[in-house]
Structure 1
Amino acid sequence: MTEQNDPINRPTPAVGAGEIPENDEPTFRPLRMVNEGKLGKAAEADAGASVSANEPTATGSSSHRAAASSGSALNSKKSKTRRRVIIAIIIAIILIILLLLLSQCGRCSTTSLAPSQDVAAQDMEQPEEKMETDEGGGAVNITYSGAAQIDLVSRTAGIHVENPARSTHDMVIELVVVNGGQETPIAKSGLLPAGYQLSTLDLNDNIEMESGSYQGYFLISFYDPESKEQAYANTKMNLDSITVS
């Protein structure tokens, strides 16, 4: 007796009872994420909250950087101002030094120093007792002849001038001829110290004169024997006659 399997009458196990239908493919149903939408929103909310939480920190950092930048700019400005002040002070000091040097040079250029002693000066061998003077002052007692003789051949002028030893200053003598209202210096001595006399002068170069009589005078300049600087006072002594031959 042959048994036949009747597929119709064969009991079919229920799906879900752990059995897989014969000759059927396994059936899978996708799992559903019930909270998917909620989780996404929650993540978005969390991300937003994170951003919101970081915003004050970013703002604070920006404010800190702005304050630091402002402080740095202020310090830089103060430093520049300090440098400018220092440079201005240095320039002022340099200018003051230059002005002092220029004033000294100007004083040296305007102050005439005594020349060397005249080679024709003769020592009168007088006592060196000086005249009394006020502090910073001076006194000179000059003895001279009112006549001068000009020798055109030897180109010399015969004079007589004494600077007594009592004088407090040395002197330089210049012979000036006056002709037709024109004044012409024709001879000048070297230094005549106190206690010395002078009897001759050499005529200046390029001096040409005709024989005759002229008017004129001595122009006396005084010099301090210690500093050798010229005194501010000059003395003019008129001559009676100047004879040229």
Structure 2
Amino acid sequence: MSKPTIAILSAESMSDEMDLDLADIAAIFEYATSRLSAIRTELESTRHTLPIKTRRIIGQYLNWEGESFTLPWMSFCAGLSISPPLSRNLRFFVGVLSMKQVGLVTNFEEIYDALMTLPTAPAGPWQKGRLTRTYCTPWWMNTANIVADDNFLHTYPNCLQVQQIIAEHFKQLPEGKVLITPVTLTIPMCTPVAEQLSNIHAEVLHEGQLIVKMLEDKVVEAKMVAATMLRMDTALGQDVVKAITATKKLTKYLKREAAQ
């Protein structure tokens, strides 16, 4: 497909443009995943010695990470109806940042605490990305003496700078660039939530076996949703688990009633 042209990510780069295709978008999210794993691994060695103030500052920098290398590109994907390939850990991280934006997470220290619940050694490359020797602006390498640099925290890389950062990252990977599933196009204005609501609205008009079949399908779909939600031990994840259990019980009851 032809490459869409996207403009800047920061006010300082209003004239910058960058051509990118679906493979480029996938590379950005792979970089974000690798960077997140590098940060988490490094912080693990100091997690029990950092004071609250330092953890709060680290949370500010983690917020900057999301606003620099993840959230803007997710918004770009949404605008083009593209489904981005986010690892489990990156999805969790985005979920935490989203909760911060809507006030469910109230301070930067909670962002740090949430990040530290991620495993330090994910199962494979899909989860952790491919770590490299160096990263651009590795602020996490000196957390013992870290300070909140307001100039840094309010300045974001523009498109051309992100392109250069990603290129440098992949230069350090001798095994090549093919790893994660590339982004895919989706139906415009059709989100999974909207699909679920539409399906439920249509199916509840029927009775008997159609309702039972719908509930069985929703149990499977809810499990898939739960597997990609933040983490199963969050309040939101627990709500999904309880909903799945309740739906299973209702399905068994309706089947028993239908058989009588």
Structure ranking higher on relative contact order (CA contacts 8 Å, 6+ apart): 2
| TM-score bin, normalised by smaller chain | under 0.3
Q: Which has the higher helix share?
A: 2
TM-score calculated relative to the size of structure 1: 0.20
Instruction: Report the structure number with the largest CA radius of gyration.
Output: 1
TM-score calculated relative to the size of structure 2: 0.19
Q: Which has the higher strand share?
A: 1
